[in-house]
Amino acid sequence: GYDLDEPWRVARAVQALKLRYAVVTSVDRDDLEDEGSYVFAQTILKIRELNPGTHVEVLIPDFKGSIENLRTVMAANPDVLAHNLDTVPRLYPRVKPKSSYEHSLNLLRYVKDRAPHIKTKVGFMLGLGEEIEEIYQGMDDVLTARVDILTIGQYLRPSLKHLPLLKHYHPDEFKELKRIGETKGIPHVESGPLVRSSYHAAEQVQELMGNLNL
């Protein structure tokens, strides 16, 4: 069930740490009917209530394609809504068998169609067997969904139980992917071996939106 005090605890932690930019995420809550969307929304609202000047980014699951759950989060008006595609469509059955690449893209499109002021962010992880042309197609998909920030990082195998690492990309390859993504028209691309969705999150948004007093 819900832990209804959690949004307040997070908000108080943000206050205690004097954070000007907070990134909020969660484990998957498939056990909840709304998959945690209510708690996401309440956490955004409580952070703002206790920390009026703090910017809030949420990294959300795909809510199994539920627009209703997505709208719950959008109604709390996060500054940035992030969602990781992680890999290319061909590898989804192996990498994210319970998820849908198209559901995720639709989620991102919906945010921009209904709330264009909310910045959107997407993350990819490389090294799982994707081809370079598939990476370029992923960039085109992200661009079509009008995503503001794309992060590209190296997949690192957490344990032998996880999917094998098939390729280590050179730092120069990541630099080239950043150049290509931004040449295609993606407003901000963060690309490097250790890049993750929340990597330099405040700086990414600062570059897009100008002075945020962070």
**Domain residues of the chain, as ranges?**
1-59, 79-209
Q: State pLDDT tens for residues 168-209.
A: 999 999 999 999 999 999 999 999 999 988 767 778 777 777
pLDDT greater than 60 at residue 114: yes
Most distant pair of Cα atoms in the chain: their distance: 46
pLDDT of the residue at 35: 74
The CATH class of the 79-209 domain is alpha beta
* Residues 77-99 as b or e (16 or more Cβ within 10 Å = b): ebbbbbbbbbbbbebbeebbeeb
pLDDT greater than 80 at residue 28: no
pLDDT of the residue at 92: 95
